[in-house]
Homo-oligomer: A and B are copies of this chain.
């Protein structure tokens, strides 16, 4: 069950330096948020934070711990993962233009979020130019990522989608920590979820993974993944000519 812990404590927030509050100096932070109605809420894996077309978009959220998937679904039950959120990400800002959320947010792991009423966020934006800039920048980043997703889904074939997904994963990981050479990446998504992210079936995902393991491009054990031969992967992904970025 989801559980409201308490009012958020920014100073001890695990994503303090990655959140939209990162540019507010510690000295004025308490003062800034003292009238805000923030809540820290925990969710178990599988629980939804809000639902497409159902929940009122009164609050935005910051992910403090865990992973969350943003999904959209068709009436017949087909589900598309639109984006995967990591700690520090701001999400659920539909309220700036609409009454309800356009997508569903579901915890992929046990997760902890900070709920921030849009009204407070608006006040914050007006009083803190850095926060406003940070939010704008996140909007742009978000939009760009989603546009990139459109390119991935619309223009690439299965092997290309999968290969660039894996390579992107390794890039994201390389940024987050110092990594030398061969690294085990955590792969928090099941085959079904990878499929749902890339518009493929479980079987198709599984087949290419198996193929690439046999060819020695990747290794896998217990939801971690190792890229042995990135070049091989890239070539395998491209049928013939140059293809991936």
Report chain B residues within 8 Å CB of A146.
143, 146-147, 150
Report chain B residues within 8 Å CB of A98.
140-141, 144
Known: A94-B140, A94-B144, A98-B140. A75 touches B245 (CB 8 A): yes
Report chain B residues within 8 Å CB of A102.
143-144, 147-148
Whole-angstrom CA separation of A76 from B238 in the bound complex: 10
Q: Mark A124-148, 1 if CB is under 8 A from B, else 0.
A: 0000000001001111111110111
CB distance from A152 to the nearest CB of B (A): 9
Tell me if A72 and B150 are in contact (CB < 8 A): yes
Q: Mark A225-242, 1 if CB is under 8 A from B, else 0.
A: 000000000000010011
CB distance from A210 to the nearest CB of B (A): 23
Tell me if B76 and A242 are in contact (CB < 8 A): yes
Report chain B residues within 8 Å CB of A142.
143
Tell me if B151 and A76 are in contact (CB < 8 A): no
CB distance from A158 to the nearest CB of B (A): 12
Whole-angstrom CA separation of A72 from B147 in the bound complex: 8
Interface residues of A, CB < 8 Å — how many?
Answer: 45
* Chain B CB within 8 A of A69 CB: no
Report chain B residues within 8 Å CB of A80.
150-151, 154-155
Whole-angstrom CA separation of A70 from B138 in the bound complex: 20
Report chain B residues within 8 Å CB of A133.
96
Known: A147-B82, A153-B154, A243-B74. A97 touches B140 (CB 8 A): yes
CB distance from A120 to the nearest CB of B (A): 15
Whole-angstrom CA separation of A76 from B153 in the bound complex: 16
* Chain B CB within 8 A of A87 CB: no
Please pick, from B93, B138, B148, the residue contacting A72 in the complex, using a CB distance under 8 A.
B148
Q: Mark A151-185, 1 if CB is under 8 A from B, else 0.
A: 10111100000000000000000000000000000
Tell me if B198 and A74 are in contact (CB < 8 A): no
Known: A150-B149, A153-B154. A241 touches B144 (CB 8 A): no
* 13 A-B contacts (beta carbon < 8 Å): A72-B150, A74-B243, A76-B242, A76-B243, A78-B156, A82-B150, A96-B137, A97-B137, A102-B143, A102-B144, A143-B143, A146-B147, A146-B150
Q: In the A-B complex, list the 7 residue pairs whose CB atoms are closest, starting with the nearest.
A: A154-B199, A97-B137, A97-B140, A153-B153, A96-B136, A72-B151, A102-B144
